[in-house]
Chain A
Amino acid sequence: MIFYQVIAAIIAVYFTATVFEAPKKLLIHIGLLGGLGWFVYLILINKTNYIVATYFSSFLIAFISHIAARKFKIPVTIFFIPSFFPLVPGAKIYQSVYSYITNDPQSGNSYFLETIFTSVMIALAILTVDSIFRILYTNIFKNRS
């Protein structure tokens, strides 16, 4: 099942990148990165919870995006935006709306909070990785050269 979902994620991210007009030669890289992120998410969500899973999969995506952006000499956004898409809480928005209109405000509230927390965990992961790379590149690598 995980294999099937990861293949789906690769295809989904590949075409997200197409719709967002990513450079042609990078489409497959972006797709594989999105698939990798979703794979980590699925592995972790079975063992822990959605907060830990979101953080670590976002961390991995952000980390690889930064390395890839420096390798291909293009802005890191081009890797970021499509490959984060599976993690963006679209499903949770739907579930909370669905709970509210089927007169189940309690699960509605909890899904709403999950939506917020998922976004916050993505934010924290991006913050961590951005800081790591900023420290590396402004202090360590600059001094060496």
Chain B
Amino acid sequence: MKEYSKILADTAVLAGQIMLECNAESYRVEDTMNFILKSSKFKTCEAYAMATGVFVTVDDPRIDNVTVIKRVKNREINLNKIAQVNSISRNIVNEEIDIYTAYEMLKNLKSNNYHPLLKSFGLMIMCGAYSALFAGGFKEITVAFLVASIIPIANSIDKKLELGSFILNILSLIPMVIIIMIFKKYIFIDLNEGISIIGVIMPAVPGTAITNAIRDTFRGDYNSGAARILEAFVIALSVAIGVALGLVIAKGIL
């Protein structure tokens, strides 16, 4: 069994890493790591979280100094994992579980709540529903629903090629916009193509980045706040570029 202090630092870093990967706000990540570290009653416990990595250091006269750094690269939103890590850290603070159990629990965290097919189908319904939300009719909803099937395909290709969200957004939006324009030209002449396009871009818009940016910035975490504001701008830019290129290409070839 590893030393207590090492396990403690590892647990805190693992918790922080999972939360950052699932797109939690940085101040929340920092708070969670601090709660876990404080449970040890060591003299020096510092946790630092940025949008792109976590740092932990633990020191006390009785032990050797432990420092762990973890860089976080891939991020995919997963609210359930955030909730699970949060409840584990609550349990540690209330001394309901010890740090070794917590570490094992964090390592074996259940990642998928829903079946991948259900998620893909949900994504398609979501796109259709966003078209309806902006007062789209039956045609707009149907087109958005059908065209949205490209998004899960693009996501699975991205998992293999690791394109990054910027390129992925552009490359997946171009064919979607072109197909919507083909629908308008050959099948539903009176289709309001804007509503359908808005429907299919909604999963890509930076909603998460905007909310997290605000909450981090106003908590005084300017480092992460600025990074997330930039993230929001870059995602919005990629959506804009994707839609623009799709429309331009569609106008050129149709």
Contacts and interface: CB of A to CB of B under 8 A. Distances in A.
Interface of A: 1, 4-5, 7-9, 11-12, 15-24, 38, 73-75, 77-78, 80-82, 84-86, 88-91, 93-98, 100-101, 115, 119, 122-123, 126-127, 130
Contacts of B125: 11, 15
A11 B130 CA distance: 9
Given A90-B198, A90-B201, A8 B123 contact: no
A97 B211 contact: no
- What is the predominant secondary structure among interface residues of chain B facing chain A? helix
Contacts of A101: 244, 247-248
B106 interface: no
A91 B240 CA distance: 11
Contacts of A38: 133
A20 B248 CA distance: 32
Contacts of A5: 132-135
A88 B203 contact: no
Given A77-B25, A126-B215, A21 B247 contact: no
B123 A15 contact: yes
Interface of B: 23-25, 28, 77-83, 86-87, 90, 112-114, 118-119, 122-123, 125-126, 129-130, 132-135, 194, 197-198, 201-203, 205-208, 210-212, 214-215, 218, 232, 236, 239-240, 243-244, 247-248
Given A88-B207, A94-B243, A127-B218, A21 B198 contact: no
A22 B126 contact: no
Main secondary structure of the interface of A (DSSP, over half): helix
Given A81-B79, A94-B194, A130 B129 contact: no
B201 A130 contact: no
A84 B210 CA distance: 10
A75 B244 CA distance: 37
B112 A21 contact: yes
Contacts of A24: 113
Given A90-B201, A122-B211, A12 B135 contact: no
B211 A23 contact: no
A123 B214 contact: yes
In this complex, the member of B211, B215, B240 whose beta carbon has the largest number of chain A beta carbons within 10 angstroms is: B211
A80 B197 CA distance: 24
Nearest to A91: B198
A23 B239 contact: no
Contact of A12 (B79, B133, B208): B133
B129 A23 contact: no
- Select the residue from A11, A38, A81, A98 with max chain B CB neighbours within 10 A: A81
The 5 lowest CB-CB distance pairs between A and B, nearest first, are: A8-B132, A12-B129, A90-B205, A15-B126, A88-B207
